[in-house]
Structure 1
Amino acid sequence: MRELAVSGNADLDPRLQLALANRRSGMRGFATASTEADEVSVIAHVRTLKAWREHPDVMAGAQLGKAKGRGFLVTGRIPIDRVEALAAETDILDLRAAQPVHPTLGASVEQTGADPASFPEGFDPQGGDGVVIGIVDYGCDFAHRNFMRADGSSRLESIWDQLGIASIDSPMGYGRRYSAAQIDAALSASDPYDALGYGPEPDSPLRTGTHGTHVMDIAGGNGTGSGQAGIAPEATLIFVDIAASDISRMGPGVVNQHFGDSVQLLEAVRYIFDEAGDRPCVVNLSLGTNGGPHDGSSLVEQGIDALVEGDSNRAIVIAAGNSHGDGTHTSGRATASGSLDIGWSHPGEWGGEFELWYDGDRRLEVELIAPDGTRFGPVRPGSSLPLGDHEVIIFIASIVGNRTNGDNAIGIWVAENVMEGEWTVRLTNMTSQDTDFHAWIERDDYAQSYFTQPVESHTLGSISTSRKAIVVGAFDGHKASLPIYTYSSTGPTRDGREKPEVSAPGQNVFAARSRTTGGVTRKSGTSMAAPAVSGLIALLYADAARRGQDLSIDELRDELIRRARRDPPKGRKGTWHPRRGFGRAHI
């Protein structure tokens, strides 16, 4: 294993540095649903929209909104070979590669008070009629009767399959959009999936083909097929089947065609809000990722905030994540001028990602030590170390002064089939002051690596620390004590904000099963809790619209917290809990 060429831009996003290192080692890129070969999806902070849209090296994507302070947040695709040049341009304030996002695999109506018989006096949401619920997920069974009206027509206004074959009207230039008319025509065929050219995968890894169907039914199914309606059975539905990640450039085997990325996630939300037009709209994201600063400052989180701050009656609901107890977070203190070891147990077969964040006025040197004692590094602050032969096997980057928050970050990527066992990340404090840090390991649903000394706080997914998103934990609604779901992630955010806001039923939740017209299946997780709250928000929007009222995202958050039931049942109302939030979401 040899040292490979490094980027000349030391503060460039480590994921982009990794893509460049692989390119310079001779490894060819590959085309994906949204990119050509040797392109990369990015989120950018730019001075002007015109400069981004008209740049010859940029295929512009979505306009997300105004950035904090100045400029705008946008998405796009750029050639890997032009990354450094673009990052150096004065009109481009920051450039970040996409991150992988994964499904966060949940008595919902009863526990949330969504049964019309239990509505408080004067509350009349009419089942969410007039409100759009958008689902960004994996696998939509449009043929399940819970998503049909009494006349057999679809309640789905559109489906955007980001992996579909592009057509002239493809949103953002990729994937395939299916209109309500096309869906209705397919429903009249003997094989609706074949007729439409789209359907949930019956046997996909991790059953992701069934995930989105289940999530959508909790939020807005009408019970026509299963006999049990979801929270907002009269809402209009829009579904985006999110495309695969195209930024894990550690080798062809690393890219998993069943997970999406953060750029396509933001573009999916933009699409849904555009389709909704003037109607109130809530978008559910039962998805997550661990990499990032966990303080609301990442461009992904800023994009989420920008999408809901510009207009009233816009909300994004995100599952808190299922990382409690999985060993993917640790924190600690490197004493002044001292060293500290972090144990990282790695299964070897699958690749892994490690990310550590600390204050910008401190300096940590990092060294990676393999289970057999082989040392990689040390890597000083402001430098990087790509190692490999024909492709990058190990990549270590140490960023000083991250552009979005001023903090420092250390990123470590290891490719699949590295040495199995306990790796050591050795930190050496180069300053005369103690240095506190937080570190996270990226999720891997096949074979999760973990810290040997984990810390169970701060385990929220990184997009779940957005400032304006409504974040939802999970509890077991089947037991009298309503215990928190075992794996429901723990707040607060790295900068100390109180997330999640609320919790909802997420243990053994029965909802629509894909590839059936009326069947149900059981799933658990915060993925199942989030759509219950999305459905509640649809009801709140519908009731407010009936009374001629608009709700800003801050007003909506306050209303959810005000209505939340005490949690635990005998607790003091209004008290925040790092896993339960301010209480159990309720009408």
Structure 2
Amino acid sequence: MLPALVGLVPLSGFAAPQSVHPALRAVRPGEALSERFLSRDAKGEVLVDLILEGDVSPETLRGQGIEVNTSIGRHMTARCPLPLLSKLLALPGLDRVRVAERCKPLLDRSALDVGVNTVRTVPPPSFTGQTGAGVLVGVVDTGVDYLNPDFQNPDGTTRLVSIWDQTGTGTHPSGFTYGAEWLPADINALIPSEVDSQGHGSHVLGIAAGNGSATGNGQPAYTYVGMAPQADLCMVKTTFQTGAIVDGVHYIFQKAASLGKQAVVNLSLGTQEGPHDGTLDMDVMLNALTGPGKIIVASAGNAGEDNLHGQLTLSGSTPQNMTLVVPPYTPAPGTANDVLLFSGWYAGTSQISLRIVTPTGVTLGPVVTGTNLTGQSTADGYLNIYNGTTPTTNGAREIYIELYDANQALPPKTGTWTFTFTPVSIPGGGRVDMYLYDNALANGAAALAKWSQGLAFGGVVGSPGDADSIITAAAHVTKDCWQSIDGASYCWNPRPTLGAIASFSSQGPRRDGAQKPDISAPGFGVTSTLSGDYIASTPLIATDGVHVNFAGTSMSAPAVTGATALLLARSEWANSSPSKIKARLRSTARTDAFTGTVPNATWGYGKLDIGNALAIPLTLAVPRPPKGSLYAVGRYDSVNVALTGFTADTIAISLSMDGGATYPVSLGSLYNVPSSGQPGLMFFIDPSYATSRAKVRAVAVKGANVLTSYSDSLFTIATPTAVLAETPGAPARFALHPNTPNPFNPRTTIRFELDRAGPATLRVYSVTGALVRTLVDHPLPAGQYRTVWDGLDAQGRPVGSGIYVYRLSENGRNLSRKMSLLK
């Protein structure tokens, strides 16, 4: 028998949204299957944590009693009272509703390994050289031991500009609806109730920016100094749900802006949910939060040995199998507490059926594309299977599977589970990727279930590390043995090879082939700050009693975070974009016999070398074309580059039309390029270049030195549309009018108004959020305007009948409407 359902949500009968996460069909508070996306308010009422996409305004949602926190473009983080969930799903204007899945939290020798001793002098606390002063280092994690001297100034006052405890109760930060914020006066008065009982956040913050002043047991201070010991600090103690993580990053960047500072945020956490191509909702929102002087660094993940990625490629009509082995385990008491969740992906134009055979031979399916098989209670466990029924942002088809103990007596069965995939129609290709993203048998205390047949090496850099604008850190070994506070010497077992990649470090590439990770840093093992609220294993505690030895890509990411703070503190790198910082760290990374030829799926571009990155400020950037711009076919336009620190012999410029996977078009070269100004290369935009995923690569050569840089993000090459002014000089407001005619075929006129001069964009999207066409993308004076959409996409192809969204944007303001094309 299933337990009583709370907040049962049918996914049919609503006009909107078109895509609802299957986990919202039945929400069961108290069970792990649902608790991963639930929280509680101050009164103990159940809230459903969500990420929403659509054109409904935050004010409309708030008016319905739904909390909205971070709003970026068409995406919002939201917390919906469980009784209001059905009401939310009935609101027009929502396109996608996703549950906010829960992520997991993933030095002496480490600091030396990355070369920080070459850019900083001692003795502290009067550090000189590169210390990160003036930059804000933010961490979203398990919290901080704010009493630890590593996070205090020499006079004993706090280095923390604030703490936001998302799990606590108290005064919320401005613009957010939950948690408790503590400011320096509160921290110095020892008022905050926030603690770091897991120790992870304090350790991470210590690596990134601890000053090493904490000590004890007669040991000298400043043995374990972090990367940026004079940076300002900010901690968000998070719930680890994806929406809360986005809110935490947003909060840190807002805090930095209010202080007039640049910021780098560390995310030593992650999830294997999603398509592993940078298009998960959290990835999209975090990308949008970054910008000049706003950088995010994330862990690659610790899934290098977990065998959680299965892959096969179908051809013809021949079925193929993947097998999953569930190990022996002791089931957790209660229901829905022994859980396996799967996220599978294949091409959006293909149709592939799935059949599952349980360890005792029960056959489920086949489940064909576009159908579900739910409520399957077997002697081997309870299954819900969804095959391509939920529209996705990347156009691919998703297989979502829940395997759990709906009946306490029937948990997921130990043994071999067989997943058979059969090609029905595969014009988009027959590749299938399956990720076991929540491996929580016995509430996560058991050994992991693992893929066997069909096991794929790599491809397990999780979210948010797979996001485009995030710098992603793998981990290598810098410490195999250490002295403990108990007087004994300990080593990891098995003992790792110094300098080698950490066995647990997640490998790339992304599912779309893009390079991840970006760089490797020390992560096995690293000694850093020990939270006074965390009970550590004695062998892991350093001889001073106040630092502890941990291992994981959680430890490598903050080394890169601290390095980024050091770069931002330099005038040459102040207010740099994420792509510029990433390119610098990549181009100055160290290689050796362990890394081999780079870039590769294990090491990225090699080992972090901050000494090299800071010592020789040679940079190449591509400021034009800017992110999201429109280049018109049949005209001449330019690519601009910017150099610092050297004059290039040549800069070769090439064009990608597939988002950066390949660069087949050579646009030309610049010669003897000086390190001043932004010289440009003019080129003719051939109609064959038309794409919505254009990107530019520039390769500068100076003797034996080669630097590569890319345009900051994707831009569009398309046939331009005319923008005509109406009633010049007439008073205008910021407005977007209904298109006429509507419905239409094949042309419709769109009128809009601007109440001030500035860069304006008018874009057409599908109801799933995919960009169809950019109609306007250039500065306009205040006034009234009209333009025409001819029903063609960015490549000049006719689009199909359906509902489309047109969106006007100007300096952070956005308006959207819907229109219907009927053929």
TM over 0.5: same fold? yes
Preserved CA contact (<8 Å) 2:355 2:421: yes
In structure 1, the residue corresponding to 2:464 is in which secondary structure? helix
Distance 1:241 1:225, change over 3 A: same
Task: Please give the alpha-carbon distance, in whole angstroms, between the structure 2 residues aligned to 1:152 and 1:425.
Answer: 59
In structure 2, the residue corresponding to 1:495 is in which secondary structure? coil
Post-superposition CA distance 1:235-287 (Å, at most 9, x none): 111111111xxxxxxxxxxxxxxxx2101110111111111113110000010
Distance 1:440 1:240, change over 3 A: same
- Tell me which residue corresponds to 1:61: 69
Task: Please give the alpha-carbon distance, in whole angstroms, between the structure 1 residues aligned to 2:86 and 2:61.
Answer: 18
Distance 1:436 1:141, change over 3 A: same
Give the letter aligned to residue 415 of structure 2: G
Post-superposition CA distance 1:405-428 (Å, at most 9, x none): 110010111224322222222222
Task: Please give the alpha-carbon distance, in whole angstroms, between the structure 1 residues aligned to 2:355 and 2:90.
Answer: 29
Task: Please give the alpha-carbon distance, in whole angstroms, between the structure 1 residues aligned to 2:65 and 2:79.
Answer: 8
Displacement of 1:508: 1.4
Displacement of 1:18: 2.2
- Tell me which residue corresponds to 1:537: 564
- Tell me which residue corresponds to 2:115: 113
In structure 1, the residue corresponding to 2:247 is in which secondary structure? helix
Within 5 A, what are the aligned runs for 1:294-313? 294-308=276-290, 311-313=291-293
Distance 1:13 1:318, change over 3 A: farther
Give the letter aligned to residue 591 of structure 2: R
- Tell me which residue corresponds to 1:159: 163
Task: Please give the alpha-carbon distance, in whole angstroms, between the structure 1 residues aligned to 2:84 and 2:383.
Answer: 23
Task: Please give the alpha-carbon distance, in whole angstroms, between the structure 2 residues aligned to 1:291 and 1:213.
Answer: 26
Preserved CA contact (<8 Å) 1:219 1:231: yes
Which stretch of the first structure deviates more once superposed, 508-517 or 136-145?
508-517
Give the letter aligned to residue 79 of structure 2: R
Displacement of 1:336: 2.8
The answer to whether structure 1 residue 423 and structure 2 residue 423 are counterparts is: no
Post-superposition CA distance 1:138-191 (Å, at most 9, x none): 1311121111111111111111111112435576211111111111111xxxxx
Displacement of 1:91: 2.3
Displacement of 1:578: 0.7
The answer to whether structure 1 residue 440 and structure 2 residue 435 are counterparts is: yes
In structure 2, the residue corresponding to 1:561 is in which secondary structure? helix
TM-score scaled to structure 2, two decimals? Answer: 0.61
Distance 1:183 1:171, change over 3 A: farther
Higher relative contact order (CA 8 A, sep 6+): 1
Preserved CA contact (<8 Å) 2:140 2:249: yes
Which stretch of the first structure deviates more once superposed, 376-385 or 218-227?
376-385
Preserved CA contact (<8 Å) 2:508 2:602: yes
Displacement of 1:7: 2.8
The answer to whether structure 1 residue 368 and structure 2 residue 356 are counterparts is: yes
- Tell me which residue corresponds to 1:333: 313
Within 5 A, what are the aligned runs for 1:116-135? 116=118, 126-135=130-139
Task: Please give the alpha-carbon distance, in whole angstroms, between the structure 2 residues aligned to 1:477 and 1:402.
Answer: 45
Task: Please give the alpha-carbon distance, in whole angstroms, between the structure 2 residues aligned to 1:318 and 1:8.
Answer: 38
Task: Please give the alpha-carbon distance, in whole angstroms, between the structure 2 residues aligned to 1:160 and 1:13.
Answer: 35
Distance 1:151 1:420, change over 3 A: same
Give the letter aligned to residue 290 of structure 1: Q
Preserved CA contact (<8 Å) 1:18 1:395: no
Structure 1 unmatched runs, 5+: 67-71, 187-194, 202-208, 244-259
- Give the counterpart of 2:193 among 185, 192, 197: 197
Post-superposition CA distance 1:564-584 (Å, at most 9, x none): 112447855xx3011111111
Give the letter aligned to residue 181 of structure 2: R
Preserved CA contact (<8 Å) 1:360 1:401: no
Preserved CA contact (<8 Å) 1:33 1:163: no
In structure 1, the residue corresponding to 2:341 is in which secondary structure? strand
Give the letter aligned to residue 102 of structure 2: P
Give the letter aligned to residue 131 of structure 1: V
- Tell me which residue corresponds to 1:184: 188
Preserved CA contact (<8 Å) 1:322 1:488: yes
- Tell me which residue corresponds to 1:222: 211
- Tell me which residue corresponds to 2:790: none
Displacement of 1:518: 6.1
Task: Please give the alpha-carbon distance, in whole angstroms, between the structure 1 residues aligned to 2:17 and 2:321.
Answer: 26
Number of aligned pairs? 536
More strand by share: 2
Post-superposition CA distance 1:278-337 (Å, at most 9, x none): 3110000010111100111111110110010xx310111010011112110111023333
Task: Please give the alpha-carbon distance, in whole angstroms, between the structure 2 residues aligned to 1:568 and 1:9.
Answer: 60
Displacement of 1:339: 2.1
More helix by share: 1
Preserved CA contact (<8 Å) 1:125 1:542: no
Give the letter aligned to residue 158 of structure 1: S
In structure 1, the residue corresponding to 2:375 is in which secondary structure? strand
Distance 1:415 1:446, change over 3 A: same
- Tell me which residue corresponds to 1:237: 233
Preserved CA contact (<8 Å) 1:2 1:388: no
- Give the counterpart of 1:489 among 506, 518, 522: 506
Displacement of 1:15: 7.5
Preserved CA contact (<8 Å) 1:334 1:340: yes
Preserved CA contact (<8 Å) 2:21 2:390: no
Task: Please give the alpha-carbon distance, in whole angstroms, between the structure 2 residues aligned to 1:570 and 1:353.
Answer: 34
- Tell me which residue corresponds to 2:814: none
Runs of 4 or more, structure 1, over 6 Å off, are 1-5, 9-15, 26-31
- Tell me which residue corresponds to 1:247: none
Give the letter aligned to residue 149 of structure 2: R
Distance 1:432 1:149, change over 3 A: closer
Preserved CA contact (<8 Å) 1:360 1:400: no
Distance 1:173 1:110, change over 3 A: same
- Tell me which residue corresponds to 2:39: 32
Preserved CA contact (<8 Å) 1:474 1:504: yes
Which stretch of the first structure deviates more once superposed, 330-339 or 220-229?
330-339
Q: CA RMSD in A?
A: 3.2
In structure 1, the residue corresponding to 2:474 is in which secondary structure? strand
Preserved CA contact (<8 Å) 1:507 1:523: yes
Preserved CA contact (<8 Å) 2:39 2:46: no
Distance 1:162 1:118, change over 3 A: closer
- Give the counterpart of 1:210 among 199, 203, 208: 199
- Tell me which residue corresponds to 1:19: 24
The answer to whether structure 1 residue 559 and structure 2 residue 584 are counterparts is: yes
Task: Please give the alpha-carbon distance, in whole angstroms, between the structure 2 residues aligned to 1:2 and 1:379.
Answer: 23
- Give the counterpart of 1:45 among 46, 50, 53: 53
Displacement of 1:505: 0.6
Task: Please give the alpha-carbon distance, in whole angstroms, between the structure 2 residues aligned to 1:321 and 1:304.
Answer: 17
Give the letter aligned to residue 528 of structure 1: M
Within 5 A, what are the aligned runs for 1:376-391? 376-387=364-375
Task: Please give the alpha-carbon distance, in whole angstroms, between the structure 2 residues aligned to 1:29 and 1:459.
Answer: 24
- Give the counterpart of 1:579 among 602, 607, 621: 602
Give the letter aligned to residue 164 of structure 2: W
Rg bigger for which structure? 2
Preserved CA contact (<8 Å) 1:159 1:177: yes
The answer to whether structure 1 residue 414 and structure 2 residue 403 are counterparts is: yes
Give the letter aligned to residue 163 of structure 1: T
Distance 1:125 1:540, change over 3 A: farther
- Give % identity: 28
- Tell me which residue corresponds to 1:261: 241
Displacement of 1:39: 3.6
The answer to whether structure 1 residue 526 and structure 2 residue 553 are counterparts is: yes
Structure 2 unmatched runs, 5+: 122-127, 216-221, 332-337, 406-410, 481-496, 534-543, 611-823
- Tell me which residue corresponds to 1:289: 271
- Give the counterpart of 1:175 among 179, 182, 187: 179
Post-superposition CA distance 1:74-132 (Å, at most 9, x none): 1112355665665565522322111110011x92211111125569xxxx864111101
Give the letter aligned to residue 462 of structure 2: G
Task: Please give the alpha-carbon distance, in whole angstroms, between the structure 1 residues aligned to 2:449 and 2:150.
Answer: 39
Post-superposition CA distance 1:381-424 (Å, at most 9, x none): 222233268xx942211225733011001011122432222222
Post-superposition CA distance 1:489-522 (Å, at most 9, x none): 1111001111111100111111111118961111
Task: Please give the alpha-carbon distance, in whole angstroms, between the structure 1 residues aligned to 2:397 and 2:415.
Answer: 28
- Give the counterpart of 1:78 among 67, 77, 80: 80
